[in-house]
Structure 1
Amino acid sequence: MPHIRPTHRSRLFALGSVAAAALIAGCASGSGGGGRFDYTVPSLPAQPEAASGWTDKPGWADEKFAVAAANPLATDAGYQVLKAGGSAIDAAIAVQMVLGLVEPQSSGIAGGAFLMYTNGRDVEAWDGRETAPAAADDKLFLQPDGKPMAFHDAVVGGRSTGVPGAVRMLEAAHKAHGRLAWADLFKPAIDLAERGFQVSPRLNTLLQSEKFLKNDPVAAQYFYNPAGQPWPVGHVLKNPEYAAVLRGIAAQGSKALLEGPVAQAIVAKVTGHPTNPGKLSMADLAGYQAKKRTPLCHDLRSAANQQTYEVCGFPPPSSGAIAIGQILGILGQTPAAQAKPDAAGLPTADWLYFYNEAARLAFADRGQYVADPDFVQPPGGSWMSLLAPGYLAERAKLIGAQSMKLAQPGQPGAVKTGYAPMPDQPEYGTSHISIVDVHGKALAMTTTIEDQFGSRQMVKGFLLNNELTDFSFAPADAKGQPIANRVQPGKRPRSSMAPTLVFEKTPDGRRGPLVMSAGSPGGALIIHYTAKTLNGVLNWGLTPQQAINLPNFGNTNGPTMLEEKKFPPATVEALRTRGAEVKEMNMTSGLQALTRTEIHGKKLWLGGADPRREGVVMGE
């Protein structure tokens, strides 16, 4: 790739030593100020980290603006847009289009996204979640004998593909908050697709472990060499078909994806699968509507500085904000509320015990209540009933000296629900973006095609989603009681995505300045990865990079999960002594976070990116 004169000036800082911050030369250039966006091809060093490896990230500090994304090429695209005077929404569009090219296993234009946005005062929640086709019903994932299909039997093929919503949602958000021309925001991805990008270690590693992608001839030809091996790290991969589709979207908007020849190709791929066809139609695609929903905001009192924060997340059909709010709210009612990390900077066994018991309670409620609000009524008439301080205090009383092992859902409303709890089911995928622009506008967006490489079906240079497998495969329990998150026509599947914005509360209880944007990929564990980071920053006073670096942990109302080789044996044994089944495992989060702080009288955006993946932060 051609060499570009370095102009990017972002501060890196060692954890705990911001005074030692050093300016570094990065990559990319962009015209300052507003107006037209002139994209320049980035020249980046080879990306060092593999899929499940650990590469230390220094943490970043910027004064004016910052963008954090899961791949340096995508981060750079967003940086250039911000440098050119673009808004946070503008930058997110550029980032997403590049992610669909360089990180196709996680998100893309045939997927969905939840976007939290603030202009510094108001908060908006933009819903680009996929929907079930009109022809789908609650028997979509049942075998002829009435039993649910095996997970990957359902995923691979056309059956699992929902109506994609990310592009139409971003288009709507851009009409409301964009500053640069829509068409210009596609230039970075188009240029990279045509010139080629280097295959990253993460993409190469995931391709090596992938079992199903080769079964699609189109994907096999693109991702693998003639000998059937994944393209090696550093191989320059070009995608002219993707570039052509992006040119159409740039010129015609989301119609170029959801109507016309591209839509016809999507429908033909889904319905024409030889062994596992789906039910998607042209009418489904053309009729997709993005939604603006009411953000779900709740208060959190910090144990570190006694400051009250307002934590705003995405409402149903996402379960993320509710579960995070319940976990942190229940923790605040336990002895763990005042607990600090141990001398090594790790969560203590006692704190982990209370966290995981709180998580059991939250996941029990999640399985019972949360689904698409256009189809399911919230308990007590409001989703906030699940976050009411009195209800959380009652739930906290259920935590005893020994693990409850399996929590039961509570009853936050006066009327008992008529739904059955959803059985445990795998969740995968996603990518997260956090951005703040020079005007103080900010966003947190989590974006997905669900499983690794989605439905393993490739059309015109991009992969189709398998988002419908986020529905419950079983429509009802053994007694015939319906499950809230069952498949229904036009319904949006429940998600765990948790894009989060945090604000200070003023002494008189009003919303104050934005202090944090955060989120992560990771399926159901998104909830724990994001909660860990919020707790680390808000309750333990850590920088975002320090909080992200903390070992991962979590519980989905089953075994307690600990990131392998990150906790001392004594911690593991202490949890087992209290009755917890402990499973040490690889927990590959992909956290991105930005926080506002003041250091030596200067206000800065501190940025963090997960050392478990390839993300970086860029800004000025």
Structure 2
Amino acid sequence: MTLKSALLSVSLTALFSMGLTACAPAPHDVDTTAPKESRVVNPDSVMVAAADPRAVSAGLRVLEEGGTAVDAAIAVQSVLGLVEPQSSGIGGGAFLMFYNAADKSVTMYDGRETAPMAADEGLFLDADGNRLPYVQGIASGKSTGVPGAVAMLAMAHDDHGRLPWARAFKDAITLADEGFIVSPRMAGSLARSTRYGLLNDQKAARDYFYPGDGETPLQDGERRTNAPYAATLRAISADYRALYEGDIARAIIAATRDEPRPGGLTEADFAAYTPVRRAALCSDYRAYRICGAQPPSSGGVATQAVMGLLSNFDMRESRDDVQGWHRFIEASRLAYADRDHYVGDDRFVQVPIAGMLNTNYLALRAAKIQDDAVMAKVEAGRPPGAEQAGKDATPDSPGTSHFSILDSYGNVVSMTTTVEGGFGSQRMAAGMILNNQLTDFSFVSVDEQGRKVANRVQPGKRPRSSMAPTIILNKDGGDFYIATGSPGGNSIIAYTAKTMVALLDWDMTPQEAANLPNVIARGESVRIEENRMDEATLSALEIMGHDIQRSQGEASGIHIIRKNADGTLQGGADPRREGVAWTLSDLDAQTDLNPK
């Protein structure tokens, strides 16, 4: 059976028969009877790149009906939450970048989770004041924040949706009711989680993922329904506030209050949740304008810092060679060092973003990079406007999913979405995995020198993220050029920056950029996928003095769309996951998609 046929579980017929200020969402339009826009869509003018063909199909059919990239994003997310629950879902959070073709603006929608008001700096300390082991922090009620993805999508839909809100949920509801085929990646993730013995500790998760004997996880190719998820989607499709008020919110809270290590979420925390709309963080790089997420994400500033550092070199002369990768490694180390010290939720701490991206500051930092030597030690700089801050102590967990969408109006969504670690907090409620997003906070509030950590736990605060959904424009004219991004914990920054260098400097196609080896340089060592980089380059980097850790594979899930000057589209889907980048023509050309 082909991968495509193994992944898609229902017939197409069955599947589709059915500014910088925080702003409160407008009253949400829940009119599910509003007529759809009559529009003939050129099948080669739209594209969806995401981690599962079923989610791509759902998004493309929404675009075919005249929906916008935001309408399609809702469909993609609701399906991913069902078929890729280890990575994202409506029980988690997201950052969405939206390019508006009408005025060529880029807006960030922040759906990051928030800590309960009961949280304090001792959230992840034990009774003796020592740091909890990371796995105990994850597998607990303490790790779950108020989920923000649904409220954020509702805000974006109020701003930019064209189809009725309810339309986007139909495909996921059908899949949940009729059953979907467990993919190889989901089955593999379940097998790995089973070895830790955490996912089947809670009854709801055990009954869903281990439906036979409570010990044997779902297998590749098995069909699984999820009636509770379908019911939750029906409620949300009528009014998104159903996730934040009433039975669904109470079910999530009850699951977080279970032992061991119960959390402090309340109905008041849910009722108070508000997504944030603000201008994107943008900076220039050669002939392009790169736009990404603002804090509490560190992805935008860190990826743009990497590129700003590299702007001091002619990267075109070093296409995928030792010198090019050496410069990328050193720039990454410098950018990560600043990110680790200075970025947090900027409603709570001062984040010197302008200083971190200041061209003079980056030029001074770039001067540390020598083409024939490795920096012995990399420390955070002192960007203009920065206050002293402690070094972060946040553990890393490579979960998450990313998708990119281009609609027939020329609008674009680049969205990174997550429940944090694999299967989040290892708990379920209302058919969905609950996030463990609060483990993205530093587990300690002060560093060894007694300095306050910017990303420390505080009540109502949003944990720092590495998510880096990115939209790149042509600087002259402001036209859309590229959407990119990736999952992968704090390695997201390296994964995404790699694609930008490949696309903007090395003249690669989106697929070639996704295929390139991932090179992650945070601190003194460098992790490189040895099976994707030639041995001569690896050895030369080691001879230069780089402390190379040879990785057998990375958890990236890069999904790229590029619109060429002649209007043609090119997509790239990370071969490390199960995704595709399809136009409507690509989708309609598929056969044998739906095993019974």
With structure 2 as the length reference, what TM-score do the two structures score? 0.89
User: Please, which of 392, 411, 426 is the counterpart of residue 441 of structure 1?
Assistant: 411
Question: Is 1:244 the equivalent of 2:231?
Answer: yes
Map Cα deviations across residues 367-394 of structure 1 (whole Å, 9 max, x no partner): 1100001011123xxx122111111110
Aligned residues: 550
* CA–CA distance in structure 2, aligned partners of residues 63 and 385 of structure 1: 42
* Range that drifts further, 466-475 or 538-547: 538-547
* CA–CA distance in structure 1, aligned partners of residues 246 and 55 of structure 2: 28
Question: Is 1:328 the equivalent of 2:304?
Answer: no
* CA–CA distance in structure 1, aligned partners of residues 518 and 433 of structure 2: 29
* CA–CA distance in structure 1, aligned partners of residues 37 and 268 of structure 2: 35
By how many angstroms is 1:84 displaced?
0.7
Question: Is 1:189 the equivalent of 2:162?
Answer: no
* CA–CA distance in structure 2, aligned partners of residues 479 and 531 of structure 1: 31
Partner of 2:294: 315
By how many angstroms is 1:450 displaced?
0.2
Q: Within 5 Å, which residues of 2 pair with 1:19-168?
A: 35-36=35-36, 63-120=44-101, 121-168=104-151
Gaps of 5+ in 2: 1-8, 19-33, 585-596
* CA–CA distance in structure 2, aligned partners of residues 153 and 3 of structure 1: 42
User: Please, which of 370, 395, 398 is the counterpart of residue 368 of structure 2?
Assistant: 398
Residue identity in the other structure for 1:152: V
By how many angstroms is 1:4 displaced?
3.9
Question: Is 1:370 the equivalent of 2:349?
Answer: no
Partner of 2:527: 561
* CA–CA distance in structure 2, aligned partners of residues 29 and 469 of structure 1: 38
Q: Within 5 Å, which residues of 2 pair with 1:379-528?
A: 379=352, 383-400=353-370, 401-413=372-384, 417-423=387-393, 425-506=395-476, 511-528=477-494
SS of 1:214's equivalent?
coil
* CA–CA distance in structure 1, aligned partners of residues 581 and 536 of structure 2: 36
* CA–CA distance in structure 2, aligned partners of residues 30 and 64 of structure 1: 23
Map Cα deviations across residues 93-125 of structure 1 (whole Å, 9 max, x no partner): 011001110000111111000000011211110
Gaps of 5+ in 1: 6-26, 39-60, 302-307, 342-346
By how many angstroms is 1:354 displaced?
1.5
Question: Is 1:610 the equivalent of 2:571?
Answer: no
* CA–CA distance in structure 2, aligned partners of residues 89 and 224 of structure 1: 34
Partner of 1:579: 545
Map Cα deviations across residues 131-153 of structure 1 (whole Å, 9 max, x no partner): 11000001111122322111111
By how many angstroms is 1:312 displaced?
0.3
Kept in 1: contact 2:141–2:259 (CA 8 A): no
By how many angstroms is 1:567 displaced?
2.1
Map Cα deviations across residues 506-553 of structure 1 (whole Å, 9 max, x no partner): 1xxxx4210011111111111111111111111111111111111111
User: Please, which of 220, 237, 242 is the counterpart of residue 233 of structure 1?
Assistant: 220
User: Please, which of 267, 272, 277 is the counterpart of residue 282 of structure 1?
Assistant: 267
Kept in 2: contact 1:549–1:611 (CA 8 A): yes
Kept in 1: contact 2:10–2:180 (CA 8 A): no
Structural RMSD (CA):
1.9
Residue identity in the other structure for 1:230: P
Partner of 1:48: none
Map Cα deviations across residues 273-331 of structure 1 (whole Å, 9 max, x no partner): 21211111110011100001221100111xxxxxx100000011111111111112212
Kept in 2: contact 1:128–1:290 (CA 8 A): yes
Map Cα deviations across residues 216-247 of structure 1 (whole Å, 9 max, x no partner): 12111111242321222111100000000111
* CA–CA distance in structure 2, aligned partners of residues 423 and 168 of structure 1: 29
Kept in 1: contact 2:394–2:439 (CA 8 A): no
Kept in 1: contact 2:15–2:175 (CA 8 A): no
By how many angstroms is 1:404 displaced?
2.1
* CA–CA distance in structure 2, aligned partners of residues 4 and 566 of structure 1: 36
* CA–CA distance in structure 1, aligned partners of residues 419 and 535 of structure 2: 37
By how many angstroms is 1:581 displaced?
0.8
By how many angstroms is 1:62 displaced?
6.6
By how many angstroms is 1:2 displaced?
5.4
With structure 1 as the length reference, what TM-score do the two structures score? 0.86
SS of 1:220's equivalent?
helix
* CA–CA distance in structure 2, aligned partners of residues 162 and 189 of structure 1: 24
Kept in 1: contact 2:398–2:555 (CA 8 A): no
* Range that drifts further, 606-615 or 348-357: 348-357
By how many angstroms is 1:405 displaced?
4.2
By how many angstroms is 1:580 displaced?
1.4
Residues 149 and 85 of structure 1, relative CA distance in 2, 3 Å threshold: same
* CA–CA distance in structure 2, aligned partners of residues 311 and 333 of structure 1: 16
* CA–CA distance in structure 2, aligned partners of residues 35 and 580 of structure 1: 60
Residues 566 and 62 of structure 1, relative CA distance in 2, 3 Å threshold: farther
* CA–CA distance in structure 2, aligned partners of residues 594 and 128 of structure 1: 23
Residue identity in the other structure for 2:204: V
* CA–CA distance in structure 1, aligned partners of residues 505 and 10 of structure 2: 45
Residues 207 and 37 of structure 1, relative CA distance in 2, 3 Å threshold: farther
Map Cα deviations across residues 182-201 of structure 1 (whole Å, 9 max, x no partner): 11111111111000000000
By how many angstroms is 1:478 displaced?
2.6
SS of 1:202's equivalent?
helix
* CA–CA distance in structure 1, aligned partners of residues 316 and 79 of structure 2: 42
By how many angstroms is 1:355 displaced?
1.0
Residue identity in the other structure for 1:338: R
Kept in 2: contact 1:405–1:580 (CA 8 A): no
* CA–CA distance in structure 1, aligned partners of residues 68 and 379 of structure 2: 45
Kept in 2: contact 1:28–1:80 (CA 8 A): no
* CA–CA distance in structure 2, aligned partners of residues 130 and 350 of structure 1: 40
Question: Is 1:547 the equivalent of 2:517?
Answer: no
SS of 2:110's equivalent?
strand
Residues 500 and 2 of structure 1, relative CA distance in 2, 3 Å threshold: closer
* CA–CA distance in structure 2, aligned partners of residues 187 and 424 of structure 1: 38
* CA–CA distance in structure 2, aligned partners of residues 504 and 566 of structure 1: 30
* CA–CA distance in structure 2, aligned partners of residues 563 and 286 of structure 1: 44
Kept in 2: contact 1:30–1:84 (CA 8 A): no
Residue identity in the other structure for 2:329: N
By how many angstroms is 1:607 displaced?
1.0
